[in-house]
Structures are given as C-alpha cells and as structure tokens.
Structure 1
C-alpha cells in the first residue's frame, strides 16, 4: 500500500483545538507519520490498526513511534470520535472493511440524541421495484409506517447519505431485498447498527450469487432471510449467524382482481400458456469467462430420469469451497443456469400447443407448436393473463433447488390454474393440493394439461382449495408477520 501524506484524510475538530488526535490506520511506514504531519514527540497520539493489516506488514509494530499509543476499537465510540481530531489512512478502509467499517460508522454519526421512529421500516427502492409494492402494503397492513429510500444513493455514498436520513430519527427496521441499499463494504450496515436500527436482508435470489458482491465479513451478522430453505445450512457453514426461511408469497391487493389483457395476448382463453424469461438479466456478464465442463454438461443433456441438476448438485460435482469470499461460486451457478435452460426447453418442447410470453430466446425451441409473444407487464397484465388461460405452466429453474417462484402463488391468487414441476420447495403446501398438479418428467405434462384443460367441477374445487390456502397462509402479510416475529419486533 502507498506510504505518503496524501493518503491520509484529516477531520479537524473546530470546536476543540486541544482535542486528542486519533489515527484510523497508520499505513505501512508508521515511523514516517510524525515527519509528514510535523507532530511533536512530547505529545501522545492514538491509533487503531487492523490486526490483519499488521500481520501482513513485516516489522510493522517495531516501526510505530514511541509516543503513539494503541486504542481499543470499543473505546472509539461516537462520543469519542466527535471530541477528537481524526485522521484516516484511506487505502485500508476498503481493504479491511470488517475492521474499519464500524469505526468509520461512528465517525460519520454526530454525538447527539436521535428520536426513535417506532414501528417504522425503511425500504430501499430502485428502478426495478422488486417486491416493493408487496412489502410496503404488507407492512402497512401490519400497522407499520413505511418509508421508501432511494437505494442508489445509499449504496454509493452511505457515509454521507445515511447520517442525513438518520437526523430525522432511527427506524426500528431497515429491510433490504437482495442487499439493495447496502454498500459492498458494509459501511451502511455499520452506520445503521451504530444508530440502533435492526438490519435485515431478504435474499430472494441465489444467496451466494448475491454474496459475490459483498466484501466484508459483516454480512454474517445480518438478520438473513432466504426464499430457499436448502441454503440455510451452507450459509451457516460460511459463518452466517441468523438465517430464516421466508418463501415468496402472493399479494391479493395486486392480483385477486384487476389487470387487462394486452393486444398481443388475445386468443389465449382456455389455452395453455407459459410466462417467463429465457435467461435472467445480464446473465452473460455475470458468468463471463466461465465454461461449463463438457462431461457435466453431457450428463445433463443425456439424462432421462428425474434427477434435478440443481445448484447443490453442481456444487458437489465441481467441489467448490468455500462459497465465500470470491467469485468461484459463479462456476457453480453457471452449471445450474445451463441445466435450467436444458430443463425448461425440454419441458416446453414436450407440451404441444402453448403460448409463451417472454423474450426472443424462446424462438429457438424444437417445436412448431410454440407461439412466442412479447413480454407482458407484471402488475398491469399478468393477473388478467392468468385468469384467462385454461392452464398456466410453471417450470422451475435450478439456481434455487428448493425455491418457489412467484407463479406458485400469483396464478392461484389471480384465479388461474397452475401446473408445476416437482421439487422440495413445494413442501410448504399440503400434499393433497400438490399431487394433482405436479409433474416430475416432461412427458407427464401433456396428460396433465388434457386432464385439467376443461372447466370441470373437480378443477373448480381444486382451484378454490388452492386459493384458500394461498390467502390463508401465503400472502406477503403472512411473510411480514414472520419477519417481525423472527426479529422480535
């Protein structure tokens, strides 16, 4: 790391000229610091340094000037930082974020009383608005005040934006979806914790894909929620302290009624439809430079049995460990993504006549009976689509071995009828509801469609039973109640 005066940032206390000087990091040549800043040798200066940094610089302790005294990190409180001149050696701040994050957080917060915003939740939001409407309604229904905060400003500049928000008061809960609103180095998390807010992250997508962007060990201290219970064990093995299963759900306010059929969805009444993308956004960028091993790919392509070549199968096959830190886990994800594509195309090719609403990636299917149409708007069109179709097909990807997707809830909530592939995530539903609508092999789909295509009394009873189950146990209000219980709120 560079050793010169320009690498240090001074925060001078204008109210207390004779305040002590505290260094957050001295750099690799601590013996030169007094000369750089013309510091007298008859005055004591305090410093905090990452043990990991010290261990990597040979002879570092011997080079610390005699009039520099180490300080316990716990003694560097918000009050202590506000009564001192504080100097930060900038290169170590992001190199060792687990150590410096809490210190910088205390430095960012003024020593003042902040009102408590009781029963208030902050929801970081962005352009994609992933689950924001559903969660906002559910928290409000539970009697909570919801404040939406722009996630980009928080993620890019937490040290300047969060303290400003906290001036107005400290919420009981900061609830992030997929780490939205939290920076990669954990400073935002540390600021919220130091201010007294609980921080929780709902990992809706593959947890270890999300964690490739996290550079601090502090994620292990978060209250984590996962849509796929099969990741609880691996997360704990990698140091997570608190992980709770929280599946996706339905929002009756958004899906029970409303929605209109767009012009390009005409003629689907009573037919079989599938709605979904052929790949997730920026897939090629995320897996750039990764090649799926030919021998493993051949097993997937040649398989004829019910084996699901999911994320955990690929992890065992490739022997990737540990799953954090680093990007090695992306190789596991690339394998699971390859298997997802094979499985989805195999199912769509086997069903016969079907209308697909998605991207152009579906136009290369090996069947002339697939009518591929453009994507539809989630809130404006999907409820009407699900109600109009005779049967909606669900094909689950391999990234979340036991994870359900929105179709498992939305279709029933909207009054539609779903067929889905069998996998462990369906265990949250009663067996008597799952058995009539689930398939294990592509060859089983056609007969299921024939059996449920007509509007028979049996189909109506099964749809009604599914609707009752979803409305009773699987709404976002249910999920918010589970979050509040898990957090003792």
Structure 2
C-alpha cells in the first residue's frame, strides 16, 4: 500500500514535471516563431584572442564564424607568431586580463607597428581600472561594456573608444528540460561579494521553507551562514550546469557586484557601475523570470515589468518574489517576453556586426 506522503510526493513531482514541460514547450514554440534573417557579411579575416571564459569566448567565436570570411582563434601567448603567419585583417582581444602573459602588451605594440588593425573588448569594467587604461593604449580601438569607462580610455589618449555591451551565446544559454536535481523556487549564481552576502543575510528569514539554491564562492562570508548553508553549493560550476540551474528555477536573482575599490576590486578611481552584466542576457535567454537590481542602461535592453523585473530594496525584492511565486502565468509570460527580446536583439550575432562596422569604418577613413 502506498503511503500518503509517497502519494503526495508523486503528485508534486508530476505537477512540477508537467509545469516544466509546459514552460519548455512554450519557449520552444516562441523561438520557432522568431523570424530568421541572414546576418550581415563582412569580407574580413578576424583573429580572436579569448580570455578563457567559455560562455563568452564560444559565443563570440561562434558569432564571428557566422558573419566573417574567416575567424581564427589563438591563445594569448601565440598571438604574435600566429598573426605574422596568418595575416588577419583584424585582431580582436577579449579583455586582455587575468590569463594573458606579461609580454602580451609588447606583442600588441609590435603588431600595430607592423600595420595590423587591433581592438580590445573590456568586459570586467569598472572593476580593474588600475590596469585597463595602460593596456588600452596598446590598441587601435577599445570597446567597453561599461558606460562609465568610455571617458577613462579617452583620457589616456585612445582615439577610438566605444560603449558596447556583451550579448548571449544562444547555443549554450537556451531553454531546456533541467530535471528535478536543478529545480528551485529561487536561484542565485555568483560569488559572495559583500553586497550579495549582505542581501542574503537580510533575506534569510524570508527564505525559510522555500526551495533555494545559492551557488558560487566565498559564501562563508555570510553572517547567517549556518542558517543558509543548506541552500549553498560552494565553488565554480561550468556554464552547462549554470544553464540547467537557470532553467530549473522559478525566479533567478541578479545582483551586480559592488564597484568600490577593496578586496574584490582594483578600481581605485571608484568609477561607478552604470551598465548591466552579461548574466542579465544569459538568464533571460533561458526563459526564466529574472529579478535584478537596477543599472542605468538596463532600460536600453529590457523593459521592467514587461520582460524583466527589478528591485531597489530588500523589501521590494521579497514582495516581488512572493508575488511571482504565486502567479505562475504572469511569471511565465514575463520570462517568455524576456526570451523573445534576447533572441531577437541580444545574441552575439546581433552584437558583433556593430563591433565590426565600427572597426571597419575607422580603418577605411
């Protein structure tokens, strides 16, 4: 005889599986209805130098492969030799930080002197502004995903500086069936910067009784770590796992890291964070409701209350979590509009033509 608790568990599992399948079916139908137009074509050979972050690097190299004559991917330590052999029209470097060798800047200077067109795309701004201005001076064109850093690079003599946000790799971040192991009411993925630890410490009583996942490093910083520890998965997870957790969540919280100089940042200029992070696009590409803190340029890409939700205080966040957990249809509608906006405007195939157009226009002048 099946016990009452087992029957209840079976019913809950069935409902959760049905709801997940219904969500996925709606997302896939929406994607199928998006008109597909051939992307613009650029008759150039691009050498791409990745930074080592799979979700960005694969998205950029895949996107370039769809719109240029040839895309070559080389490691930072190979760039000088490879460029002299391959003779690319454009050398595009992603970020130029963390995994790049000490002599990389010298290599880029040599390549510019040899007549190569060079560009760098900073995607960790403004958190490393003690290093990036010096690095920027070794390139013809500088792109930054952070509005506040455009004047910074102009001030050190870079003539071509452009604000350009990142996008999403749609072959990686996409709606899928996550499975029971990835389901949650509320999910947050990221390191425990001080503002994030403070947020979850304040949320702790509210989160009791909910299915919560907090994934990332340094969460031992929490003052209420013991209370929240059942929700925490410490350490890095690969992008393919991140996608599953986003898909399995009813709500994903996005909270940008603080910009003040300190243990976690090298931003002694204390430039503010005005622009959204790549995670904003990645969460929305999974067809899951995102509730994010507000950055100045958010409304350029999404419309709060239509294809994303926002919060300005812990109290507002708690209110919106409670509301959307109880309103499945509305939660799903906003998430699907977010998916549509992302897939029609914010993939790398949408973003990279702007980058190449700006590089090419200046080269031809």
**When the two structures are superposed, what TM-score results if normalisation uses the length of structure 2?**
0.72
Say whether the 8 Å CA contact 2:146–2:163 is kept in structure 1. Answer: yes
Residue 191 of structure 1 deviates from its aligned partner by 2.5
- Per-residue CA deviations over 1:255-280 (Å, capped at 9, x if unaligned) read 1145866xxx83x524111111125x
Match for residue 395 of structure 1? 255
Q: Equivalent residues in 2 for 1:211-360 (5 A)?
A: 212=131, 218-219=137-138, 222-257=140-175, 266=181, 269-279=183-193, 341=194, 343-351=195-203, 352-353=206-207, 354-360=212-218
C-alpha separation between the residues in 1 aligned to 2:166 and 2:220? 26
Identify if the C-alpha distance between structure 1 residues 126 and 430 changes in structure 2 by more than 3 Å, giving closer, same or farther: closer
SS in 2 for 1:486: helix
C-alpha separation between the residues in 1 aligned to 2:158 and 2:76? 24
Q: Equivalent residues in 2 for 1:40-51 (5 A)?
A: none
SS in 2 for 1:243: strand
Match for residue 451 of structure 1? 323
Match for residue 175 of structure 1? 92
Rg: which structure is higher? 1
Q: Equivalent residues in 2 for 1:425-444 (5 A)?
A: 425-433=297-305, 437-444=309-316
For the pair 1:383 / 2:243, whether they are aligned, the reply is yes
SS in 1 for 2:352: helix
What is the aligned length? Answer: 298
Residue 363 of structure 1 deviates from its aligned partner by 5.7
Residue 374 of structure 1 deviates from its aligned partner by 2.8
Say whether the 8 Å CA contact 1:356–1:372 is kept in structure 2. Answer: yes
Identify if the C-alpha distance between structure 1 residues 435 and 350 changes in structure 2 by more than 3 Å, giving closer, same or farther: farther
Q: Equivalent residues in 2 for 1:56-135 (5 A)?
A: 119-125=44-50, 127-129=52-54, 131-135=56-60
Match for residue 206 of structure 1? 125
Of 360, 364, 368, 2:222 maps to: 364
C-alpha separation between the residues in 2 aligned to 1:190 and 1:466? 42
Gaps of 5+ in 1: 1-116, 155-161, 280-340
Question: More relative contact order in 1 or in 2 (CA 8 Å, sep 6+)?
Answer: 2
Identify if the C-alpha distance between structure 1 residues 211 and 182 changes in structure 2 by more than 3 Å, giving closer, same or farther: farther
Say whether the 8 Å CA contact 2:307–2:341 is kept in structure 1. Answer: no
Match for residue 422 of structure 1? 294
Match for residue 24 of structure 2? none
Provide the alpha-carbon RMSD of the alignment. Answer: 2.9
C-alpha separation between the residues in 2 aligned to 1:144 and 1:195? 22
For the pair 1:147 / 2:64, whether they are aligned, the reply is no
SS in 2 for 1:190: helix
Residue 242 of structure 1 deviates from its aligned partner by 1.4
- Per-residue CA deviations over 1:265-321 (Å, capped at 9, x if unaligned) read 83x524111111125xxxxxxxxxxxxxxxxxxxxxxxxxxxxxxxxxxxxxxxxxx
Residue 454 of structure 1 deviates from its aligned partner by 3.6
- Per-residue CA deviations over 1:197-225 (Å, capped at 9, x if unaligned) read 21110011125725527757843x53111
Say whether the 8 Å CA contact 1:225–1:245 is kept in structure 2. Answer: yes
C-alpha separation between the residues in 2 aligned to 1:134 and 1:436? 23
Match for residue 82 of structure 2? 165
C-alpha separation between the residues in 2 aligned to 1:423 and 1:479? 20
**When the two structures are superposed, what TM-score results if normalisation uses the length of structure 1?**
0.55
C-alpha separation between the residues in 2 aligned to 1:349 and 1:377? 23
Residue 254 of structure 1 deviates from its aligned partner by 1.0
Gaps of 5+ in 2: 1-41, 260-271
